[in-house]
């Protein structure tokens, strides 16, 4: 049995870091283990201009703990009227690594997102021409669509026409949750379509949200799906297929905002994501493929080199705290908080000082 596994340092290709005190609190959990992260732009107001992204990147870099080597990769929040030249300039100047498309109303802070794909055709033309990737929150916002079907409907109504109309556009289907999404990505052989997968969608099915009561800390978007989908995600993630790579979608919300009559969507998994992925790969008998998923496939898709240094995971029980404290007395509940997970990152990062 493998008890110690050393892989190239992983990257997180889908991450929410927020800003201010929350940024300072959550960032060390990522920067201690990951070399790079694709940082989501859904702040309020959204990160939609080159100048906003440059300033946000500077705030992130200023919050990286001494001794961590971490590179945030910035994304542009796509609005109906984003000028293509803003994207082009941000890309040329090395500020924007990619563009994030939220269908308007699909999720947290998506109200400035895209209301109609026709409106962003000029931006997509430009991105296709300059090789700038599009990152998709792939859920239909049609209120008539069942919440558990939103991803599958998006694939048919939005993704397929997009892939047809922009045949050279690089696209990442973020946080895939269904067998249908896995199949769409697998059936593309052009090399321009990839997908990220979160730890929660690999470890849990939708029953987790309703076990002996309602469990708001299992609520994220896209919502957890039924078991057959989870099994399909495990299959593609652990297969070594280069089109699938690690993206945690770690999305911190203060505990009180989740434990509420109208709780926020998002799971703060940065502290336990790697232990969770290792658990999944171990259970699938595929620990030897963890490095491809976590550290190689993502850089390859984005045309970057893998990280030079390494990260070691140890099979040893890790008690996960129930809370991560925020300045001022609030707290965030981490994914798997209050339980013991079978893997840990070595050396363990000391708890953030607060
Ligand atoms: O659960 C989610 N939380 N899904 C998203 O798409 C956004 C994220 C957030 O920013 O909280
Ligand atoms: Zn996200």
Q: Give ∠ CA 74-79-84 in degrees, rounded to 5.
A: 75
In ligand 1, the atom with minimum distance to the C-alpha of 265 is 1
CA of 247 from ligand 1 middle (Å) equals 13
Residues less than 5 Å from ion ligand 2, measured at CB: 249
E strand intervals along the chain: 4-8, 12-15, 36-39, 71-77, 96-101, 134-136, 171-173, 193-197, 244-246, 310-319, 324-325, 331-332, 340-346
Q: pLDDT grade, residue 350 (50/70/90)?
A: low
Q: Which domains does the chain have, with CATH numbers?
A: 4-349 (3.20.20.140)
Choose one of 15, 16, 150, 200 to mutate for the ligand 1 pocket test, by most ligand atoms within 8 angstroms of C-beta: 16
Question: What is the rounded average pLDDT of the residues 299-314?
Answer: 98
Classify residue 215 by burial, with Cβ atoms within 10 Å: 0-12, 13-18, 19+.
middle
- The whole-angstrom distance between residue 103's C-alpha and the CA centroid of its chain comes to 16
Question: Of how many residues is the chain composed?
Answer: 354
Distance CA 85, CA 38 (A): 21
Contact present, 185 and 176 (Cβ < 8 Å): yes
Tens-place pLDDT, residues 49-59: 999 999 999 99
Residue whose Cα lies nearest atom 8 of ligand 1: it is 266
Choose one of 103, 139, 201, 266 to mutate for the ligand 1 pocket test, by most ligand atoms within 8 angstroms of C-beta: 266
Distance CA 166, CA 159 (A): 10
Q: What is the mean pLDDT of the chain?
A: 96
Q: pLDDT grade, residue 107 (50/70/90)?
A: confident
CA of 126 from ligand 2 middle (Å) equals 24
Q: pLDDT grade, residue 13 (50/70/90)?
A: very high
Q: In this structure, what DSSP letter does residue 331 have? A: E
pLDDT on residue 354: 42
In ligand 1, the atom with minimum distance to the C-alpha of 264 is 11
- Residues forming the active site: 249
pLDDT on residue 353: 45
DSSP secondary structure letters along 12-81: EEEE---SHHHHHHHHHHHHTT-SEEEE----SS---SHHHHHHHHHHHHHHSPTT---EEEEEEEP-TT
pLDDT of 328 higher than 70: yes
Express as a percent the part of the chain with pLDDT over 70. 98
Q: Per mean pLDDT, which range of 3-17, 116-130, 176-190, 336-350 is the poorest?
A: 336-350
pLDDT of 305 higher than 90: yes
Question: What is the rounded average pLDDT of the residues 238-255?
Answer: 98
pLDDT of 349 higher than 70: no
φ and ψ at residue 36, rounded to 5 degrees: -140, 160
Distance CA 253, CA 323 (A): 12
Residue 253: nearest ligand to its CA? 1
In ligand 1, the atom with minimum distance to the C-alpha of 174 is 6
pLDDT of 265 higher than 70: yes
- The whole-angstrom distance between residue 304's C-alpha and the CA centroid of its chain comes to 18
Q: Which residues line ligand 1 (CB under 6 A)?
A: 16, 42, 107-108, 137, 220-221, 251, 265-266
Q: pLDDT grade, residue 140 (50/70/90)?
A: very high
Contact present, 317 and 340 (Cβ < 8 Å): yes
pLDDT on residue 105: 86
Tens-place pLDDT, residues 18-54: 999 999 999 999 999 999 999 999 999 999 999 999 9
- Cα distances from 219 to residues 16, 226, 229, 277, 286, in angstroms, run 16, 14, 17, 19, 28
Tens-place pLDDT, residues 74-97: 999 999 999 999 999 999 999 999
Angle at which helix 20-31 crosses helix 50-63, to 10 degrees, equals: 60
- Cα distances from 21 to residues 24, 57, 100, 252, 326, in angstroms, run 5, 15, 24, 12, 7
Q: Give ∠ CA 238-241-242 in degrees, rounded to 5.
A: 120
Using alpha carbons, select from 77, 151, 171, 165 the residue that is nearest to residue 118.
165
């Amino acid at each position: 049995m493998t008890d110690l596994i050393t892989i190239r340092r992983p990257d997180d290709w889908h991450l929410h870091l927020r800003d201010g005190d929350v940024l300072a609190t959550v960032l060390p959990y990522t920067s201690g283990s990951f070399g790079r992260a694709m940082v989501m732009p859904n702040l309020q107001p959204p990160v939609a201009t080159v100048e906003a992204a440059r300033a946000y990147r500077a705030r992130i870099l200023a919050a990286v703990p001494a001794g961590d080597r971490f590179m945030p990769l910035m994304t542009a929040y796509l609005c109906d009227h984003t000028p293509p030249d803003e994207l082009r300039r941000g890309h040329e100047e090395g500020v924007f690594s990619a563009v994030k498309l939220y269908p308007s109303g699909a999720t947290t802070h998506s109200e400035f997102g895209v209301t109609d794909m026709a409106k962003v055709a000029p931006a997509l033309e430009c991105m296709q021409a300059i090789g700038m990737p599009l990152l998709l929150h792939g859920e239909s916002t049609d209120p008539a669509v069942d919440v558990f079907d939103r991803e599958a409907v998006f694939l048919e109504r939005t993704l397929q026409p997009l892939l047809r109309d922009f045949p050279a556009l690089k696209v990442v289907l973020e946080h895939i949750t269904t067998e249908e999404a896995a199949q769409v990505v697998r059936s593309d052989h052009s090399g321009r379509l990839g997908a990220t997968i979160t730890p929660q969608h690999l470890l849990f099915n939708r029953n987790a949200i309703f076990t002996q009561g309602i469990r708001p800390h299992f609520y994220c978007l896209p919502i957890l799906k039924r078991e057959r989908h989870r099994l399909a995600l495990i299959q593609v993630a652990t297969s070594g297929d280069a089109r699938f790579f690690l993206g945690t979608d770690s999305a911190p919300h203060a505990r009180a905002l989740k434990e509420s009559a109208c709780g926020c969507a998002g799971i703060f998994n940065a502290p336990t994501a790697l232990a969770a992925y290792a658990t999944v790969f171990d259970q699938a008998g595929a620990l030897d493929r963890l490095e491809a998923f976590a550290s190689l496939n993502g850089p390859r898709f984005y045309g970057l080199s893998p990280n030079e240094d390494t990260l070691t995971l140890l099979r040893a029980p890790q008690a996960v705290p129930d809370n991560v404290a925020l300045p001022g007395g609030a707290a965030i509940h981490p994914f798997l908080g209050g339980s013991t997970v079978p893997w840990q990152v070595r050396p363990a990062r000391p708890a953030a000082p607060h």
